[in-house]
Structure formats: structure tokens, C-alpha cells
Structure 1
Amino acid sequence: MSLLDARLAKSAEGGPSFSLGNRLFRIVWTFAWLVLARFTPPPLHGWRRLVLIAFGAKIGARARIHASVAIWHPRNLAIGADTLIGPGVRLYNQGRITIGARAVVSQRAHLCASSHDVRDPHFQLVTRPIILADHCWIAAEAFVGPGVHVGKGAVLAARGALFTPALADTIYRGNPAVAIRPRGTSSNEVNIG
């Protein structure tokens, strides 16, 4: 990714964090998603997968991605087979976001793979990848922060905010999210949809 030095780009004064090529690609991408996918009917998941793949995303078979999903950069996105990305989900993937197979990211959840260096007076952007393992469930309006790895079968409850790694087969809730109990599924036989 073409991340610029904040000191030279004057990011704290409104300058860009990414190269001109990156910004032009995102303009084309945003327009393409609006025209080709944003207003498609719910059953056209296959068409939306093709649009994403054409722009560099890695999308598994039968993944269902709703038309109202906001994706910052498709080349920074990998979604496994049979995964559901619900209505209004925001994948703010300035850094890479990888979502495993048979996972669910519910309506209006937000995954953010970047932040700024709080110690830097120039406001340097820092990207940190998010990884959701197979069979995870990120519930409605939940937030997953930069650099978080969510273990296989873990659940983040509605409106939870996760900033640290989540153990496999564990349910988390709250802000900041804390483990509340095991999910109680066999890690080999999780069935969420």
C-alpha cells in the first residue's frame, strides 16, 4: 500500500496519507461499486463477488456480501467461502482485513484496520491487519479495531468494541470487550448459518 510519510505529506494539516495512484484507484472503485453493486437486489451476491474480485479482492465461493457494505480498498480484503457480510457493514481496510470461512459480520458492524500514531505530531497513519478466523461472528454494530485477531468460532456481541485478541470459541461483550463465557461449540463443528 502506498502509505506516505505524514511529515512530508503534512497529514496533520489535511495532506494525504496515501499516494496519488491509491487515491485515484479508490475514486474509480467507489464509483464502480456505486454503479455496479450498490443498488443491486439482495440475492445478487454472486454479481457483487465478481465486482469485488475484478477490483482485486479475494472472495471465497458462496460468500454473501450485501450491496450496502462500504469497502475502503478491495485489494486489502480477503473473505472466505460461505461468509456473510451483512447490510451496512463498514470494512475500513486501509490495512488488510482477512475474514475466514463461514464467518458472519452482522449489520452495521465496523472493522477498522488503521489508526494514527498518537505520539507523532505529524499524525502518521499506521495500518495493522485484522484477522477473523473461520466461524467467527461479529454481531450488529460491533467494532473491531486495528491489529485484532479473532480466534476460530469467537463471538463479539452486539455493540461490543474489541481492541485486543479474542480467544477461539469465546463470547465477548462490552466496550472494551471482555470475555464472558465459552461459546460452547466444538471448534471443528461450529454451525452459524
Structure 2
Amino acid sequence: MDRGTGTSQPLEPVERHQPSFSLGNRLSRVGWGLCWLLLARWTPPPLHRWRCMLLRLWGAEIGRGARIYGSVRVWHPANLEVGEGSVLGPRVRCYNQGRIRIGRSVVVSQDASLCASTHDVADPLFPLRLRPIRIEDHAWVAAEAFVGPGVRVGTGAVLGARGVAMRDLAPWTFFSGNPAQPLKLRPPLQE
């Protein structure tokens, strides 16, 4: 019975959709979350090697000399690649349903968010769409910045504090704002 008109109308069939991730995937993520909580989240900052080892055990590719803080949140370690000498600072969120590749000597500063998935808003079932992120060598994602699905942060690019990157960022350029806009060129670093 329709409340508004007082007439009864047949109900349309409800389409059921499958979960975006298998039961095995969800159980693995629960196990990962417990492992990080019990063995890494509380550890003091200097224990980067220990936290990197745990991530590797769960399928992440972590380069030598990488520094990952205990308050970092990684959704799925097997979808994370961090290059040599790179840093994931305090409270960084890697929402990596899709793959996140971070190059060498990259800094992702405190409270930054990396989101490698979105939803198809044109589909009534709103299915998940994986959109990998790539942050190339010597880039810097500053404090509280957001890197959106499918974005490539070019070599040496800088996304300023609280900047929002929803499109690719050109190499060796400073960006700021929401949406991120180029401000000026950054001189290439000498290795």
C-alpha cells in the first residue's frame, strides 16, 4: 500500500549485487588490521624497520630505508609499493583498494590521504572502480593533502598542505589549493 495515495502498487524487483571484495579478502584485511594494531600501531617512531617487515609479510613491496610510522593506516598491504628512502608520515591514510605505487625518496607528510578507488556514479548499483595512484621519485605530498583516484604525481612535484589533486600533477612543479593548481616550477634535485 502506497502511503501517499492509498493505492497498492506492485513492488519492483530489487537487484542484488555482489560485494566488491571476496570473503577471503575481507578476512585477510581483518587479520591485517589486528596484526597492525597489536604489533605496530603502538610502536615508537624509530622502529621503522619492524613496521616495514610487517608490511612485507602481508604482501607490500617496501624499499630499503623506507620509514613508515605506526599511526599510518594501510587498507590492503598487497596493493602498496613504497620505494627506497620514502616516508609515510604520522597518520597517513592509504586507502589502497587499488594499487598505490610510491617511488624513491618520496615524502607523504602527516595526515595526508591517498585514495585509489572510486564508485561509478552512472551505475545505479554504484560499483567500486579501482584507479591506481602513482607518486613518482622525489615528490612531496604535504600535510593533510589528498591524492585522488587515478592520479599520477610527477617526479619532483609538490602538492602543498591541504591541496587536493584530482588530476595528474606535472613533474618539478609546486601545486596548491582545491583543486590543485600549479604555482611555480621547482628546481630539479641533484642526486
TM-score normalised to the size of structure 2? 0.90
Q: Is the 8 A contact 1:89 1:105 kept in 2?
A: yes
Is residue 19 from structure 1 mapped to residue 28 from structure 2 by the alignment?
no
Instruction: State the distance in 2 between where 1:7 and 1:73 align.
Output: 26
* 1:110-156 Cα deviation digits (max 9, x unpaired): 00000100101101000100000000000000000000011100000
Q: Match of 1:65? A: 68
Q: Match of 2:129? A: 126
Q: Match of 2:151? A: 148
Q: Secondary structure at the match of 2:20?
A: coil
Instruction: State the distance in 2 between where 1:184 and 1:101 align.
Output: 18
Instruction: State the distance in 2 between where 1:119 and 1:7 align.
Output: 17
Q: Secondary structure at the match of 2:138?
A: coil
Is residue 8 from structure 1 mapped to residue 17 from structure 2 by the alignment?
yes
Q: How does 1:36-185 map to 2 (within 5 A)?
A: 36-185=39-188
Q: Is the 8 A contact 1:139 1:156 kept in 2?
A: yes
CA RMSD of aligned residues (A): 1.1
Q: Secondary structure at the match of 1:115?
A: strand
Per the TM alignment, residue 185 of structure 1 is displaced from its structure 2 partner at its CA by: 2.5
* 1:23-50 Cα deviation digits (max 9, x unpaired): 0000000000001100001000000000
Structure 2: stretches of 5+ with no match in the other structure: 1-14
Moved over 6 A (4+): none
Identity value in percent: 56
Per the TM alignment, residue 102 of structure 1 is displaced from its structure 2 partner at its CA by: 0.3
* 1:26-78 Cα deviation digits (max 9, x unpaired): 00000000011000010000000000000000000010000000000000000
Residue identity matched to 2:100: I
Structure 1: stretches of 5+ with no match in the other structure: 1-5, 10-15
Instruction: State the distance in 1 between where 2:65 and 2:28 align.
Output: 26
TM-score normalised to the size of structure 1? 0.90
